[in-house]
Structure formats: C-alpha cells, structure tokens
Chains A and B, each alone.
Chain A
C-alpha cells in the first residue's frame, strides 16, 4: 500500500515553500510537520477550538479543516509571520503581552490570527464585534476577559501607529517574493529571521 504523493507549493508568510504530501494531509499538519512552522497549534482537529487559525488569502480559516493540497498556490499567513524582521513584536502581539491575554499560550496563535483578520476588516471594532469575532476560539486558561481587552488594545496600538509613524516599529520590508498577499492590518509582511528559507518537505 503506497499512498500517492503530491508536490505542492504553499506561499507561507510571503515565502514559497514546497512539500510532498498525500492528499489527506491536513494543512495544519503540513504547516507544522512538513514546513516546521509549529506556531500553528491543533487543539481539536475538528474545527471547533480555533487554535489552528491561519490567514488564507487574508481570511481567518481553520487549517485543520483544510487539506494541504487544496491550499496549493494560496497565500497563507501564520503566527510566525506577525513579528517584524528585526524580531519586534507586532502591535497585536504587544497588546496581548500588555493585557495578559495569554497564559499557557496554546490557544494564542489562533487568537492572534483571528484578531489580525478582524482588525484588517474592521480597524476600529465595537466591543460586540470583538466578542463575536473571538467567539469561535476556545481558551481554557484566561476566561477571555484579558483577550478581549487585548484586542481592543491592539486596535488602539495599530491606530496610533498609523497616525504617527505609518510604518511603525513592526513594519517589515517588502516580501522577498512577488506573491500576491492580502494586506495585514499592520502593513507589509516580512519573513521572520531565519524562517524565510524555502525548504523541501521532510517526508
């Protein structure tokens, strides 16, 4: 029994990455185990917890509900793509640190990417909008109060960054590759240090 393998290219955080996977390989597993981007977590693998949320062409999606082969050619943004090239935290990340929006941190990448999707759509969300947007992600540690505070704070930091210094300390350089990317709330993406090397698949 030898399973048919597919060669795919995923544009992750602005960098084309290739992998060889069977058709049934989940996108979450491909990111985590084929590309080594373990910041995306899997808490249920049935689409309820939101830990595996990534941006697919700018929209938050559950990477455990997608097959990696169906993401061929799509622009994917993961938590590893949030911080600037100099390692400076993205305003959303800073807000979560300031407001104690994480404890064990397992749900956190999902909340960060959901927040990125929200603030991209709606830079000044109402409390209702924030609660509604966050209500697809589970967190067992924080009781959510500090998460919603973090999202409000992130919106403030982004607004302040855009008002004063448009680039902001988090803004990176242009993507290395001319990949069509949906803009992220904070501005242009740059690959993380050391994380931007296109790699072959492990298996």
Chain B
C-alpha cells in the first residue's frame, strides 16, 4: 500500500511550528493573567509559628496573599496519595500550603498573587514567616522513619545461597538526581463565570488526571473543569506527579478572584520544590557456581523517599522487579525500605528505579566475572534467558500490580550484536596498545530489560470530516516524543490516507476525556494501539458505507490514498471524504460536498436513515487495555579513557543495541535513545543533588548542577533489533526511557576496567576517582 508510513523515518509534524517560535508553552499563554509567587520554606524541618504579611500589603499591584488558614474544604487537607499500596504503611503527603510543619526546603508556605511576577516576588519578599527550626534528617545514613517495607521472594534464597559453591557480597550506592526539563512546571487557570467552567492549562504529563484532581479538591463537577497540556518543554517523569500544590491553588485563586491567574516555576524552584529521584543504598549477596552461573540473588536496599510519598512506592517497586534484567535467577529475594528524609520528595525520573536496578545487577555480574577470572560477556551469555524460554515469568508482581512476564526478546542475539558493534573480542589488543602508549582505556557492557506500556488503558478517537481531514485525538499528553507524527503514521497506514490529511491532538480533555498519562514508556504502546484500533473501526464503517454506494461487498474494497475502491477495478471508487458525507444523513446542507447527504438526494431504503447500531459520522473510538506490560530490552557498551594525571573520564565510544519491537519511526526512537543516553552519562559522571547536613541544596542552579552540554555527551552508535510484542496489535514496545537505564552500570564497568579500581557508587567525579585510586595515577 502506498500510504504505509508506519516504520518510516518521517519528519516530525510538530517541527515547523516549534522551529518558527510558534510553540505555545505554559508561560506563553495568559498574557493578561495575574501572576503568582510563593514564599517557600528556607528550612528543611521547622514549625511555622507565625506569618506576618503587613509589610507586603503596600506593594504596588498586589492582589491577594493566602496562607493555609485561607484554604477551604478539601483544599485544606493533605494532597492525595496517588498510588496506595498495602506495604506503604506510613504514607504522607504535603498540604497545598504548609500547615504548622514544613518538611523540606522549598515547601510552599504563602501564596502571593499580583499584577505580574516581579511584583508578586516583591510582595513575597516582604512576608515575614517565623519558624521554630527542628533538627532535619538528611541522607540515607541518618534516615530512620520508614514509609514502606516490601519483600518479594522467588524460590528459597537462603537455601540456595547456603548451597552455592561461591558467594559474594557488595555494597552499592546511587545518588540523587532529577528530571530537570528545560521548561519547569507551570499552571494557568481561568474561570469563565458565564459558562461556569474552569479551564486549567498545566505543563503536565497527565492533564486528564489533573482535571479530575482539581475538580475533586475544589468541589466542582468534572463536567465544569477542563484541562489542557499545551506544548510541554520536557517532562522526563517529574511532570507525571500531580496535583502539585500550585496545580490546585492557581485554579482555586482564579475562580475566587474571577481573574486569570498563572504560575510559572523558576529554575531554583524547580530544584527545591518539584521532585527528585535515584538515591539508593544497596546490599547484595549472590551465590554462583564455578562457571559463573548465578544460583541465588539476595538484595536489600534503602530508598530515600524525601519528605513525602504522594506517588506511592512505584520507584522502589520498579527497582525490585526490574533488577533481574535478562538473567535467569533460580532464587531471588528483594527487600526494600523506603525512608523519609527532610529533602525534596521522590517521584519517577526517566528510568524510574531501573537505572539503580541495572547498576545493582550489572555490577554484580561484573564482580562474578572478576572473581572467576572469566570474560564479562561470557558470564552474561551463560546466564541470560534463552528465546525458547519466552514468555518468561519472573514470578514477581510488577508496578501495575500484574505479573512480570517477559513477552518476547532474543537476548543472545542482542548480546552478539552489542559485542560485535563495540568490537568486544578485539578490545584486549586495543587496550594493550593503548597501555603501551601510557593510556588507560577500558570497556564495559551492561544489559537491561524494561517493562513498558503499563495499563490500565488509553483510548483513541479518529474521525474523517466531509472535507477529507482526519482528526485524531488521545487523552495522554506529549513532552517532545513526536506523538503528532507517530500517531499520524499509524492512522495514515491503518486507514490508507495521506499523512498530511491526519491531524493529531493530545492532552486536551475537551477532545478526549478518558486517559491515564504519558510515563513508563507507555504512550506509543497504549495510545498507539488504541488509535490503531479506532482507525480499524472507522475503516470497517467506511467500507460498509462505501460498499453500499458502490454496490460491492466490503471485503472487495481497499482504501488507497484516501480513495475507497474495488480491488482490481480502480474505476469503481469513492473518496473517503464522500463516504464521510454519506455517513451523516442531513436535512441541511452548507457546502457542495454535503449536498449528497441531504434528504432528497439520498436513496430511500427500508429502515431509518441511521440504522440501529450505527451512529452518524465517520468516526471510530476504541481503547487499548493490556493484560500486562510488554518488556523491551537492550544492551549498552562503552569504551572510556581515564586520564592518568587528572582522572578525567572521556567516553571514546558508546554503543547501543535496542529492541523495542516494531519501530513506528526509527528516527524518533533514535532521538529518544540519544536523549536517554545523555541523561545516563549525566547520572554516571556529573549530576547529583548536593544536600548539606542542614538539608540545604547546595547546587540548586544550572551553574552548580552539572547538566552536560554538547561537549560532554558522546557520539552514540545504535543498532536495532525488532522482536515484535505478541501482546498488542501493532507489536510495539515502549522506547522512551530505555536510553538512560544502563548508563551508570556501563560507565562504572568501563572505568573500572580502565583503572582497576572497584566502582561501587555513582556518580563518580574525577576527584572522587582520583581519591579512589589512592590519590595517585
């Protein structure tokens, strides 16, 4: 079929607009809106004794100042616990504005509304809050208060460890980092008093859920609230958290004041008032035989959850269940404690617990190889799940509450491809040559399996207008993944229409009311399949109507370039846009096209104009709700050079083999991998949240938080493997997070190989590496 664009490197539909500067990000909206600034806690742990606003009252342009005392009804209650879990025995969520206690620096205490942000900040500066400072808890070594504790065990780990010919113990650490999209959070709301409707724009990964949360907390019917995610300047997980205090306060103030109100987060606020992730302390015991076959793995880890647990314990659950990676573990036990600290709360950041899992598993496999003097790739080869073992049931409960079962994949093939791509077998020779020149180079390899496309569902709607325009909508939102392009590719292919005719809208509750959100590498799998199913439904209807008009059987018809025609006799044809006209019997006509559907033009048949069971219009709506997640996989390899003098690490090569099932648009998938790898490199070598013992974030700016520039990110070589998922109609798997997952693991391995120094914590800076080497080269 000529219109098959599924699988092609199609240029993105969203680009011309964004390239012209015509994007509409949150702060580009609401030019006349009042603006908000917050007074935020300067202390990590304190009691709020008094708020004095007197000095702020004569600031020009001030409109309102609110504290917790001003909040009505449910707005005064703690914000929702989004994902309850029986193991989360001591959940805690924040108030929209602090009530009595603050538990991290940056927690909002007072909300100021003024004519613009400058003036709002002027007023916020003059608000005096009196605190009684309490001792803060910072860092996992000081943390004691347990939010959750969970154990999962498959097989008898104690017995298997006791029987294992060899055992090893490791202690591993990962520090905090954060999503850090270049556009921070933001929310803009307007109350339409005439319509009695609240419109909320939020820079969110889940507008549908924001809508329901705002309606519930403000006590409005769902039908009076609509939420739109405009262009979103990156998310990477942080914007799946909701409702933020700001997300409920701004709509509340807009309604109360009868004015448009907007809040745009600044960069420092994003560091101290959004969310972080990653920090874990891991303790591993592994039992294996003399051939390097793993017999038992026992992992205990502590997870730093920060001050609150609004997003439940999804992150440590993912670490627990993705830790096995591609390996057969005859006995596996994982136990974690989520601990409270007086720091920014933890919610998913791209990878969501998986980078820590891969770090843990891959460091362990490397240690086994070192212990036995075996090649690291060979130990992996001996332990990986074989294709004939698919579907492979881990015996664990995944983050969606459903069994973790690998649906497909060819791990041995992936391993062969990555070792070929990086030149694994030839590396010892290269390393020796380099050593002869006084250079220290090293190679590393790391694997992962990623559960993607978690449920419960997404939906899609496809409609053909009488002018031939195809409108597509789905409820989840976009943060740069090119959904307008890939969903158009799917619809163009399914319907047989030119891609230019297809127009996709995402993240607008006015267009599609039911959705979950964009996270967990799920958008393409969930909405992609839902939209494909909706397009198939529409196609079947179009063929029924066209068959009637052409006096043919629907089975004999095909749609090519927007024309429905009888296979083999292309003269018997009717444009899809005409089918759209015929699908909607009319009394009134406004255009040349629609005349054909008016009551004196349509042939009169038996039965009503719209037969029972049919609906007017050429539309399809369907949902995709998978039984369980689909598992993508991949392997990364890197070659690094470590400067003998400065311990500076240079990545000489970085290779990726990636299997996310059928590719909708390889160019976009590669872009996702590039971005993920950059964040993986960042987490391995540069980025960390540097809290001091008082709970002050010392590097809460782009000057001090080392986000990599073009000069720090290596060239990335990619090879794809396409093992379709048997679980969904399109055979696809998620790709959004994959690139970041093995970053720390693979770079730790390569640095260790180059220096001979054991790497057990990430990130590692040149000065730390210098110290690890004993302060000398």
Contacts and interface: CB of A to CB of B under 8 A. Distances in A.
Contacts of A132: 711
A87 B20 CA distance: 9
B60 A1 contact: yes
Interface string B571-593: 00000000000000000000000
Nearest to B15: A97
Interface string B676-711: 111100000000000000000000011100010111
A9 B14 CA distance: 33
A18 interface: no
Nearest to A25: B118
B12 interface: yes
B260 to A, nearest CB: 13
B267 A46 contact: yes
A69 B716 CA distance: 44
Contacts of B116: 33, 203
B11 A97 contact: yes
A109 interface: yes
Contacts of A48: 701-703
B180 interface: yes
Given A100-B12, A135-B709, A145-B715, A82 B20 contact: yes
Interface of B: 11-12, 14-16, 18-25, 27-28, 31-32, 58-60, 115-116, 118, 122, 180-183, 231-234, 236, 266-267, 479-482, 667-668, 670-671, 673-679, 701-703, 707, 709-711, 713, 715-716, 739
B183 A106 contact: yes
A79 B702 CA distance: 23
Given A41-B233, A97-B12, A143-B674, A102 B18 contact: yes
Interface string A3-18: 1000000000000000
A132 B711 CA distance: 7
Interface of A: 1-3, 22, 24-25, 32-33, 36-46, 48-49, 51, 78-80, 82-83, 87, 89, 93, 96-98, 100, 102-109, 112, 131-132, 134-148, 192, 202-203
A24 B25 CA distance: 24
Contact of B709 (A2, A108, A144): A144
Given A48-B702, A145-B715, A203-B115, A39 B20 contact: yes
Nearest to A38: B28
Most chain-B CB neighbours within 10 Å: which of A42, A105, A142, A192? A105
Given A96-B15, A140-B679, A143-B674, 9 more contacts: A2-B60, A36-B31, A41-B182, A44-B267, A49-B702, A87-B20, A105-B19, A134-B709, A145-B713
A106 B31 contact: no
A145 to B, nearest CB: 5
Given A41-B233, A136-B709, A146-B671, A105 B32 contact: no
A40 to B, nearest CB: 7
A140 B236 contact: yes
A144 B708 CA distance: 10
A93 B18 CA distance: 10
Contacts of A96: 15, 19
A148 B710 contact: yes
A104 B668 CA distance: 12
Contacts of A137: 709-710
Contact of A108 (B19, B232, B668, B710): B19
Contacts of A98: 11
Contacts of B122: 1
Contacts of A1: 58-60, 122
B20 A89 contact: yes
Contacts of B21: 37-40, 78-80, 82, 109
A3 B60 contact: yes
A138 to B, nearest CB: 6
23 contacts: A2-B60, A24-B118, A38-B25, A39-B20, A39-B22, A41-B233, A44-B702, A79-B21, A83-B19, A97-B16, A100-B667, A100-B671, A104-B183, A104-B234, A105-B15, A105-B23, A131-B711, A134-B709, A140-B679, A142-B674, A143-B676, A143-B739, A146-B671
A94 B325 CA distance: 41
The 6 closest A-B pairs by CB, nearest first: A39-B21, A104-B480, A106-B233, A105-B18, A143-B674, A103-B480
A83 to B, nearest CB: 5
A134 B667 contact: no
Contact of A93 (B20, B703, B713): B20
Contact of B479 (A25, A51, A104, A143): A104
B28 A43 contact: no
Contact of B267 (A36, A43, A131, A146): A43
Nearest to A79: B21
Given A49-B702, A135-B710, A140-B707, A100 B60 contact: no
A3 B116 CA distance: 13
B697 to A, nearest CB: 15
Contacts of A3: 60
Contacts of B236: 140
A171 B280 CA distance: 55
Nearest to A92: B19
A100 B711 CA distance: 19
A186 B20 CA distance: 15
A201 to B, nearest CB: 12
A104 B118 contact: no
A192 B20 CA distance: 9
Contact of B14 (A22, A51, A105, A131): A105
B182 A140 contact: yes
A112 B19 contact: yes
Contact of A138 (B59, B673, B709, B739): B709
B718 to A, nearest CB: 10
B476 to A, nearest CB: 15
A41 B27 CA distance: 9
A33 B702 contact: no
Contacts of A41: 25, 182-183, 233
A108 B16 CA distance: 11
A51 B184 CA distance: 13
A21 B49 CA distance: 38
Contacts of A82: 19-21
B231 A104 contact: yes
Nearest to B119: A3
A107 to B, nearest CB: 5
A49 B25 CA distance: 17
A32 B231 CA distance: 16
B703 A143 contact: no
Contacts of A32: 27-28
B666 to A, nearest CB: 10
B191 to A, nearest CB: 22
A125 B387 CA distance: 48
B478 to A, nearest CB: 8
Most chain-B CB neighbours within 10 Å: which of A42, A135, A144? A144
Contacts of A108: 18-19
B713 A46 contact: no
B711 A135 contact: yes
Contacts of A139: 182
A43 B183 contact: yes
A20 to B, nearest CB: 13
A112 B233 CA distance: 16
Nearest to A151: B710
A89 B19 CA distance: 8
Most chain-B CB neighbours within 10 Å: which of A89, A93, A103, A203? A103
A138 B706 CA distance: 11
